Amino acid sequence: MTDASTHSLANTPAWPDDASRSAALYQRARAVMPSGSSRLTIFFKPYPVYAASGEGAFVTDVDGVRRADFINNYSSLIHGHRPPQVMAAVTEQLGKLTAVGLPTESEIALAELLAERLAGVDQVRYANSGTEAVMMAIKAARAFTGRPKIAKVEGAYHGGYDHAEVSQTALPDGWGDPAAPTPTPTYLGQPKGVLDDVVVLPWNDVAAARALLEAHAGELAAVLIDPLPSRVGFVPIAADYLAMIREVSARSGALLILDEVYNLRLGYHGAQGKFGVVPDLTTLGKIIGGGFPVGAVGGRAEVMSVFGFDTGRPRVPHGGTYNANPVTMTAGLKTMQLLPPQAFSRLAVLGERLREGLRRALSDRGLPGQVTGDESFAMLSLSDQPIRTYRDLVYAAQFAEAQSRVHAVLMNRGVLTSPSLVFTLSTPMDEALVDQVVAEVGAALGAV
């Protein structure tokens, strides 16, 4: 792995620059892709830089500017770019087989590892994205319970499946009562039937969410929860809220789906281990693909049997041309094997150092703001109000301009973060790099 401390961060006032290769590529992209992009989260104004190569904790753009990568492909690159042992395993696999209309041993090995680590997972079913994993989990819950509805948290992001998207982008003009949020569409024309089949829960409000879950008890197939939701400001689930959801869902026959697509990296036993809950279904993605496209649903054998066909037609038919392709499986298995418990503890220590450093950077300058996150995540908000729910984050959007100025300064000081100032760590990072980044953020805060 790259020793991050041997690299100092460049002071490279290279962006934005109309004469750059990235600026030219962006203009070219605009002709053939709407807004020049295929992915909402990776765009920033006036144009995103285009990546050319990556190594360990660093990524280099097409203009030759190298930055410490604190995006890590939105949580998926837990070992950073091209970790040598993963690359060796993938290279060997590429010499044998890339995709095939047959199963391979690698899919069993990865499933065994996941079942061993995750308390709620006896069996696994693969897909190619987290979106698909969530969709399949919801379908499985419906087939298992014979019920149509799901409950989810206002603002929480679970990918692009219609029901999982409801109220993901709710705004004050439509979101209604904070104790009983109105299900809002995410795109124009989203069918009313979809909205009718989703119960939207307020985050960490035990009494209000309990009342909603109990009011819909007989109709709910599942409660879909991410315990550290990125779009709810990385505010962790409260222990009594999670306990209430587990208890009410079990009592009413609804399944608990824990969405760990983003958050499996919270610990060796996943987010479920960290938060002490055993879900009925777990959705996975990102890190279990080792840098390649992936999704998976895991769960209790009894629930997962809806995908099985031992006794005839499956209750949930599920296929997918690239499901469990051996390249992804090989990369994912090696990636997960390179994550013993001490790798997670080390990331947690680095994360705490980063969060503490960011908090100091704010207080040293007398700036309002808040640092949220846990384990290997940190989010810096410049809002003058505390962030506790999605609605606070919508209020905080008025500070987006100031945050994007910080992002822009960091871009020219060798640090790549998301425009919303989320920092995601990877194993090749070390204390020296974290301290450098904290110093750069401090300088950026002083400059905006």
Per CB under 6 A, residues contacting ligand PLP are 74, 129-131, 134, 157-159, 226, 230, 259, 261-262, 285, 295
Which residue out of 286, 374, 390, 430 is catalytically annotated? 286
Least distance CB 195 / ligand PLP (angstroms):
20
| Residue of closest CB approach to ligand PLP | 130
At 325 the three-state DSSP class reads coil
Could you confirm whether 45 is annotated as catalytic?
A: no
Which residue out of 26, 47, 126, 157 is catalytically annotated? 157
Could you confirm whether 96 is annotated as catalytic?
A: no
- In the bound state with ligand PLP, the residue whose beta carbon lies nearer, of 47 and 157, is 157
Least distance CB 12 / ligand PLP (angstroms):
29
- N- to C-terminal Cα distance for the chain? 35
The Cβ-side half-sphere exposure at 47, using a 13 Å CA radius, reads: 22
- In the bound state with ligand PLP, the residue whose beta carbon lies nearer, of 255 and 444, is 255
Could you confirm whether 259 is annotated as catalytic?
A: yes
Q: How would you class 318 by CB atoms within 10 Å of its CB: exposed for 0-12, middle for 13-18, buried for 19 or more? A: middle
- Buried-state track 15-42, b at ≥16 Cβ within 10 A, e below 16: bbeeebebbebbeebeeeeeebeeeeee
- In the bound state with ligand PLP, the residue whose beta carbon lies nearer, of 22 and 204, is 204
> What are φ and ψ of residue 303, in 5° steps?
-75, -45
At 317 the three-state DSSP class reads coil
- In the bound state with ligand PLP, the residue whose beta carbon lies nearer, of 134 and 256, is 134
DSSP H stretches of helix in 189-325: 192-196, 206-215, 239-252, 270-275, 301-304
Report the candidate in 374, 346, 361 with the shortest Cα–Cα distance to residue 406: 361
Least distance CB 161 / ligand PLP (angstroms):
9
Least distance CB 262 / ligand PLP (angstroms):
4
Asked if residues 396 and 381 have their Cβ atoms less than 8 Å apart, the reply is yes
User: Percent helix, strand and coil across the chain, each rounded to 5?
Assistant: 45, 15, 40
> What are φ and ψ of residue 172, in 5° steps?
-55, -35
- In the bound state with ligand PLP, the residue whose beta carbon lies nearer, of 157 and 234, is 157
Least distance CB 278 / ligand PLP (angstroms):
19
Amino acid found at 235: V
Least distance CB 222 / ligand PLP (angstroms):
14
Which residue out of 69, 226, 259, 280 is catalytically annotated? 259
- In the bound state with ligand PLP, the residue whose beta carbon lies nearer, of 66 and 286, is 286
Amino acid found at 192: K
The tokens of 236 are what? 């962790």
Q: Which residues are catalytic?
A: 157, 259, 286
